[in-house]
Structure 1
Amino acid sequence: MSLKRVDSVDPAEVYDYIICGGGTSGCVIAGRLAEDVDAKVLVLEAGPDNKDLENVHMAGGWSKNFDSETDWNIVTEPMTKIENRQIKVSRGRFLGGSSGVNGTLCIRGTKQDYDDWGLDEWNGDKMFEYMKKAETFHEKDWHAADMSVHGNTGPLHTEPHDLAPISERVKESMVDQGLPYHADMFSTGETSQGCGDVPRTVHQGVRTTAADFITKGLKRNNITIKTEVTVDKVLLSQHSGELTATGVATISKSGKRIEYKARKEVIISAGAYCSPPILMRSGLGPKEQLQKHGVECLVDLPGVGQNLMDHVLCFIFYEVSQPNLTNDYLAYHDNAIASTYQLYQEKKSGILSTFPFGIFGYARLDERLKDSKLWQDAKRAPGRDPMGLTKDQPNIEFWNTELYGGPQQYTDFPIDHKHAFALCALLFNQHSRGSVTLKSKDPLENPIVDHNYLDDPLDMLVLTEGCRFANEIVMNGKGTKDIIKGSWPADLTHHNFTEREDWEPHVRQHATTCYHASGTCKMGTPDDKNAVIDSRLRVRGVRNLRVADVSSVPQVNNGHTQMVAYGIGEGAAEMIKQDKENSFLKLAVETEKLQI
């Protein structure tokens, strides 16, 4: 076995903990570990600092971070079930990571989602406490928050979103079509059929990101942050017959190769697309794949890069007959964007100070699918539906946009004083699984990502029915039925669709990512041969190495993944601290035995 030696590392570049990835979970872990003033923590981030990136802090400018060095610029492989389309799965490539480009949404899912992981350390009660710990929630007079579930001491500042007129109309239609209003349902995790308001990671007009855990008022002298440094691999050595992580090898933006040494632990927090390649380049992964790229396999871990999940969704656009219900007039009409931008610059307010999503809903689809033979005949566990969900977990999520917009393929902007919005349908608990594999062992080359969207027929069935329900909400709901002029753009006809079969071609053409990639280094029990890490995030077969980000989740939650990433970060930091204390206690006991 040939292992890299790190004897020549500069003493100044020796740390207790090395965090590989300055994204959501990584920044949380670094900030919490640095609360111990004796801990020396290094954060390595491939992209730049976010301090001067205006379109990070101005939530409405989120898409301007893409197609540049602040985006990983990953594009999927063609996917058979969505007409061989490829999808751009943009990720934040700067300090704070995707917490600086996401939809700012704090949708935790239900506690059952985490109980379903089957891991005591990450059950629903514990995950909700971890998410609560990260947060400081700011109330608004109009919003009936359940303050028992919100935090008030965390670096992550959140607040409810003030709805645009179109969102108030959609809310009325959701209630009318059987989704009753529960104001704080996306924080309590207790409602599987209803609509409510979603807290956002925006406060006083400025996006709050994970970088806030280690910058601004929380910049500590024992944290070193190195940006524009790409992690190549983990440095490994043999200690007492065990493989041990001792540091990392990196490459800077200028091409300089530098090694950093870790006295205690290396923590990989590079996300669902980038954590698996780091492991694989280190010799930890599927043996056959590593050999294909000339990488010696040190630990055969077949699950590395497998189990890729996402939340697949469809945008369904409508033209509105009445002016100024949507916010298009503040963005696309005449020279409106100039005054909108000036308003943000002067007062940190207006549509650029927030993300343009409105009211959200959850729905169960049991009754709507009972006529489907596929649904009827599908296998199901006791107390579960064919998707593996209990009656207290939603099948579908809905939300509306407050103006035209979405992923980059949507470019039919409503100029000429027209107005449009979308109702979105998102699939939960998908059965299809994708993969992340090496394209080469070059750390500067993106991996091969195949999401395999809608490969399972049940996924297509449920998302198709979700779109059908969404259209009924808009076309039949009393808040919106009288303001819809038609589909947008005009060559679409979906507003007239009534049958489930009508929706399948639309789903194939428009299914896209919700940027919730997860699961590629999943946690598991000792008998799970595809688990990469144990329930304390420790990589199998290697000491002092963990993976801590959303790649670690066995099953993506029925919500959004931002708060999961914060929760994983908080939980990982606590476990690392606990394991350190336990090792000290063990050493003390062994020392005492020797003295006796």
Structure 2
Amino acid sequence: MASARIEAQEIYDYIICGGGTSGCVIAGRLASDPNLSILVLEAGPDNANLENVHMAGGWSNNFDSETDWNIVTEPMESIDGRQVKCSRGRLLGGSSGVNGTLCIRGIKQDYDDWGLEEWSGEKMFGYMNKAETFHDTDWFKGSPKVHGVDGPLHIEPHDLAPISELVKESMIDQGLPYHQDMFSTGESPHGCGDVPRTVHRGVRTTAADFITKRYRKEHITIKTETVVDRLLLSEEDGNLTATGVVTLTKDGQQIEYHARKEVIVSAGAYCSPALLLRSGIGPKADIDKLGIECLVDLPGVGKNLMDHVLCFLYYEVTKPNLTNDHLIYHDNAFATSYALYKEKTSGVLSTFPFGIFAYARLDERLKDVPLWRDAPREPDRDPMGLTRSQPNIEMWNTELYGGPKQYTDFPIDHKHAFAITVLLFNQRSRGSVTLKSKDPVDNPVVDHKYLADPLDMLVMTEGCRFANEIVMKGVGTKDVVKGSWPEELTHHTFTEREEWVPHVKQHATTCYHSSGTCAMGKDGDVNAVLDSRLRVRGVARLRVADVSSIPKVNNGHTQMVAYGIAEGAAMMIKEDSAKP
């Protein structure tokens, strides 16, 4: 860290720490008032010239570089001591520029379960609607009652590859009825459907679009490659108050910026708690260890870490060109596909290679398992805390061999492969985010504790068992799959749940849905970092607004949650600013 200090000359009404998904949306919405000055601070580069952001098929090339936070978990005993790479977008637009483009909202009950009037399911779905503009196709017509029509986020349906059409047939055959727009409506916890994507006319749309391109405004100042070191806090009128930030530039200079109205932290589930901790806000014992003065003892900062654990099951396909492998891996196919994208922004690289999706309830499948049967339940909920309107797992297929970067057995020899994936909802295990040091350049210490709770492992293995049945027994796929890919992996012939445990321990990975580490809560909740309007308890003029603020992760994906939280936050900031 540089020792020199450049005294601040810049003062803004609002300072937003983190130009990721939520931060960009908040800045764009606040900028509707031309009299406000807004500063967005982003640790990574601008995304304007990052081809693999705009070309959705190039997503994995953004990782393991300066556009990735390159966070790796601590070894986790519950998955045989493995560490998991938890990539996050480190660029303007954040993870909206590197994610799977999927718009899966979850179920309205997910948000009702937060128990906060301001964030009910009805309101959250409304906030998500506000962010988007939905584009119909000839086979998918979005209802205006469900989808937004004038937001900066452009989304459209995804045309399925042949393998996805077959997986869809198998899902329906194995008891998952088709509801086309179920992932936007939240209408079914047990069925399959199509998922809209944040891609329009072959180009990914990101949260950065809220403050760039046609939404660029002169009273928004964007500073990229600028890390927020800590918050400036002072006593004002007897209250500890956020007055600005100390930043570290790429060339090592420390610069202060001051805020007239508020400082808003939107750095994500890993970096938002880290910023609070470096500023002396959090569990006193954790802060004291690093020689930081504890200004506000908030036990919940960095706790309650949640994610959706994911497991890939790969299969070889016996018939050619059902998957899209021939468009990427065979001969010079990639060069041809890349040339097509450059010329027409179309083809396999113009979209994300995931196909048909499904939700499933597993209560009936697990009813005779002693661990499930005898586990304590709340009234009208299963042992995972879910009502009958909420799914236990999500499944989808890849449209070619692909997924996490550790899978490198590409079918280059004119073979074909795909995966079906299983995602665990409402995990009972909770992890943590703590500091390695006071240095803002050091990544935080992340321990997800994946599958540490026995019920988590039970549901995950049953989910894998069900997914395998869909592929191996379903009418659409049973005659086109040869077995696992590659052959040295498990052959997916398991019939017993326990047989899946070693596979899950070996292959469980993140779905990049980390959340909950600066959670909102009701008054009297000692672990609540924020009140229901996202204000940090014990500090005036300071909010946290991103997926770290949610008390419980939704039973869907978190991209639309990040947009929804940001839309709600911007509305609340405007309302509170208008008060005397």
Render the CA deviation track for 1:74-129: whole Å, top value 9, x for unaligned.
00000001010001100000000000000000000000000000000000000000
1:355 aligns with 2:352: yes
Measured in 2, the distance between the counterparts of 1:79 and 1:335 equals 40
Aligned twin of 1:264: 261
**2:202 pairs with one of 202, 205, 225:** 205
Counterpart AA for 1:158:
I
Q: From 39, 50, 53, give the equivalent of 1:42.
A: 39
Which stretch has the larger CA shift, 483-492 or 542-551?
483-492
Of 448, 464, 467, the match for 1:467: 464
**Pair 1:161 & 2:158 matched:** yes
Matched residue, 2:275: 278
1:529-544 alignment, distance < 5 Å? 529-544=526-541
Give the alignment partner of residue 447 of structure 1, picking from 444, 448, 458.
444
Instruction: Look up the match of 1:506.
Output: 503
Give how far 1:48 is off: 0.4
CA drift of 1:9 comes to 2.6
Contact 1:133–1:151 (CA under 8 A) maintained in structure 2: yes
Q: How far has the Cα of 1:415 moved from its partner?
A: 1.1
Residue 89 in 1 paired to residue 94 in 2?
no
> Retained in 2: the 8 A contact 1:146–1:184?
no
Q: Given residue 9 of structure 1, which amino acid in structure 2 is its aligned partner?
A: A
Q: Does 1:568 align with 2:565?
A: yes
Q: What is the TM-score with the length of structure 2 in the denominator?
A: 0.99
* Aligned residue number for residue 592 of structure 1: none
1:40-119 alignment runs, 5 A limit: 40-119=37-116
- Note if 1:221 corresponds to 2:214: no
The reply to whether residue 422 of structure 1 matches residue 419 of structure 2 is yes
What's the counterpart of residue 588 of structure 1? none
Q: List per-residue Cα deviations over 1:17-66 (Å, max 9, x = no partner).
A: 00000000000000000100011000000000000000000000000011
The equivalent residue for 2:522 is 525
User: Residues 378-417 of structure 1, C-alpha deviation per residue, up to 9 Å, x if partnerless?
Assistant: 1110010000000000001000000001111111111100
Query: Aligned equivalents of 2:165 and 2:336: distance in 1?
Result: 25
Partner of 1:149: helix, strand, or coil? coil
Code of the residue aligned with 2:309 in structure 1: it is: V
Contact 2:490–2:503, Cα closer than 8 Å, also in 1: no
Alignment of 1:167-182 (within 5 A): 167-182=164-179
Q: For structure 1, which segment, 146-155 or 443-452, has the greater mean C-alpha deviation from structure 2 after superposition?
A: 146-155
Q: Output the amino acid matched with 2:55.
A: M
Deviation per residue, 1:544-591 (Å, 9 max, x gap): 0000000000000000000000000000000000001123xxxxxxxx
The DSSP-based 3-state class of the residue aligned with 1:532 is: coil
Q: Does 1:130 align with 2:127?
A: yes
Counterpart in the other structure of 1:376: 373
Partner of 2:8: 9
TM-score, normalised by the number of residues in structure 1: 0.96
Gap runs ≥5 in structure 1: 1-5, 584-596
- Identical aligned pairs, as a percentage? 76
CA contact (8 A) 1:233 1:279 kept: yes
Matched letter for residue 495 of structure 1: H
Question: Given residue 277 of structure 2, which amino acid in structure 1 is its aligned partner?
Answer: M
Q: CA deviation at 1:147?
A: 3.2
- Structure-1 separation of matches of 2:574 and 2:272: 22
Is the contact between residue 231 and residue 251 of structure 1 (CA under 8 Å) also seen in structure 2? yes
Q: 2:475 aligned with 1:478, yes or no?
A: yes
In structure 1, which of residues 178, 188, 191 is the aligned counterpart of residue 188 of structure 2? Answer: 191
Kindly provide the amino acid, as one letter, of the partner of residue 83 in structure 2. Q
- Cα offset, 1:8, TM superposition: 5.1
Contact conserved, 1:144 with 1:184, CA < 8 A, in 2? no
Instruction: Quote how far apart the aligned CAs of 1:439 are.
Output: 0.1
**Equivalence map 1:139-154=2 (5 Å):** 139-154=136-151
Instruction: State the Cα distance separating 1:345 from its structure 2 match.
Output: 0.2
CA contact under 8 A between 2:156 and 2:199: conserved in structure 1?
Answer: yes
1:331-346 matched pairs, under 5 angstroms: 331-346=328-343
Q: Secondary structure at the match of 2:118?
A: helix
- Letter of the 2:457 partner, please give it: M
Matched residue of 2:71: which SS? coil
Residues 103, 195 of structure 2: 8 Å contact kept: yes
2:493 matches 1:496: yes
> Which residue pairs with 1:587 in the alignment?
none
**Hey, what's the Cα distance between the residues in 1 that align with 2:140 and 2:350?**
19
Confirm or deny: 8 A CA contact 2:102 2:557 kept in the other structure.
Answer: yes
The answer as to 2:234 corresponding to 1:237 is yes
Corresponding residue of 2:290: 293
Read off the aligned partner of 1:313 and give its amino acid letter.
L
Mean Cα deviation higher: 568-577 or 141-150: 141-150
CA distance in 2, matches of 1:148, 1:302: 41
Deviation at 1:145, TM superposition (A): 3.1
What secondary structure does 1:454 align onto?
Answer: coil
Note if contact 2:28-2:211 (Cα within 8 Å) is conserved in structure 1: yes
Cα distance in 1, alignment partners of residues 202 and 325 from structure 2: 19
Aligned residues: 576
Superposition deviation, residue 322 in structure 1: 0.2
CA distance in 2, matches of 1:494, 1:450: 31
Counterpart contact for 2:461–2:504, Cα < 8 Å: yes
The whole-number CA distance in structure 1 between the counterparts of 2:356 and 2:569 is 32
Partners of 2:6 and 2:481 in 1: CA distance: 69
For the residues of structure 1 that align with 2:74 and 2:198, how far apart are their CA atoms? 32
In 2, Cα distance between equivalents of 1:144 and 1:494: 40
CA distance in 2, matches of 1:146, 1:401: 27
Tell me how far apart the structure 2 counterparts of residues 85 and 335 of structure 1 sit (CA, whole Å). Answer: 36
What is the CA distance between 1:144 and its match in structure 2? 4.4
- Aligned equivalents of 1:484, 1:356: Cα separation in 2: 19
Cα distance between partner residues in 2 of 1:492 and 1:65: 28
Which residue identity does 1:266 align to in structure 2?
V
Tell me the equivalent position of 1:437. 434
2:6–2:253 CA contact under 8 A, matched in 1: no
Name the amino acid aligned to 1:95. L
**Secondary structure of the structure 2 residue equivalent to 1:551:** helix
Report the AA paired with residue 270 of structure 1: A
Verify the 8 A CA contact 2:6 2:255 in the aligned structure 1: no
Q: In 2, are the aligned partners of 1:18 and 1:265 still within 8 Å (CA)?
A: yes
Deviation at 1:495, TM superposition (A): 2.3
Shift of 1:7: 12
Q: Distance in 1 between matches of 2:141 and 2:484?
A: 34
Residue 359 of structure 1: how far off its partner (Å): 0.1
* Letter of the structure 2 residue corresponding to residue 487 of structure 1: S
Distance in 2, matches of 1:79 and 1:271, equals: 22
